[in-house]
Amino acid sequence: MSRKPHTVVVADDHPIVISGMRLLLSGSRFFELVGEARNGAETILRCEQFRPDALLLDLRLPDLPAATICTRVKERHPETAIVILTAHPEEMAVRGCLKAGASACLFKDVNEQNLLSALMQVVHGRAVIDPRIAGAMLPRRDGNGTSGGGLSGREHEVMLLIARGLTTQEIADQIGLSPNTVKSHSRSLFTKLGAHNRVQALAVAQERGLI
């Protein structure tokens, strides 16, 4: 029996972006566009009406900060995964959104395949950060090979790959470690960040300037 498509609300004040998302999602059997919004207040209303599986949210809407929108949506509908879309890597705004519960942040020039992939990952509880955004926030390591937040070089590397949405197996394949070793590094960095899962770890890492 086929599963119902994941429902999506799109919020952007540019009609051409809304049209593009409508076209993209209409061609996917995994997602269904159920609501559109042009400002923050309308976004909150659409999420109240449709309780979507995912919200595609422009970082800059005219009436409300994106972090405020994230907070209000997650308070009422914690199951809604929020994907921030931005044209510029605005560090403080992005961190605020992640702290408020957003699961992903992508540049608006993301290609269709990567956007759909990111949507699929966030509705299954993963976090995704465009590596260009993560790289722009990357702090220098000290002489001991640790990042400014006390993570080891390897833990920090794992953190950046988590931010890209890679699975444990994919991280292991990329850096040449066993999955169990990757899990060990993940547990260690979660402990150091005071986080219980990937989304929390990502939000704390962003807040502390580690990614």
b (16+ CB within 10 A) / e for 47-74: beebebbbbbbbbebeeebbbbbbbbbb
Class of domain 138-207: mainly alpha
Residues 159/201, Cβ–Cβ less than 8 Å:
yes
- Per the structure block, which two tokens stand in for 104? 């992903």
The predicted pLDDT at position 126 comes to 83
Task: Decide: helix, strand or coil at residue 12.
Answer: coil
The predicted pLDDT at position 93 comes to 86
Q: What are phi and psi of 210, to 5 degrees?
A: -85, -20
pLDDT tens series, the chain, 211 aa = 457 999 999 999 999 999 999 999 999 999 999 999 999 999 999 999 999 999 999 999 999 999 999 999 999 999 999 999 998 877 788 888 888 889 889 999 889 998 999 999 899 888 888 877 755 444 444 444 444 457 888 888 888 888 878 889 989 888 888 999 999 999 999 998 888 888 888 888 877 777 6
Q: What CATH number belongs to 6-132?
A: 3.40.50.2300
CA distances from residue 117 to 15, 44, 65, 74 in whole angstroms, order as listed: 23, 24, 26, 22
Within the chain, all domains assigned CATH 1.10.10.10 are found at 138-207
Total-model pTM: 0.70
Residues 91/111, Cβ–Cβ less than 8 Å:
no
Residues 58/17, Cβ–Cβ less than 8 Å:
yes
Residues 59/93, Cβ–Cβ less than 8 Å:
yes
Within the chain, all domains assigned CATH 3.40.50.2300 are found at 6-132
The predicted pLDDT at position 134 comes to 59
The CB density around residue 116, as the number of other CB atoms within 10 Å, is: 17
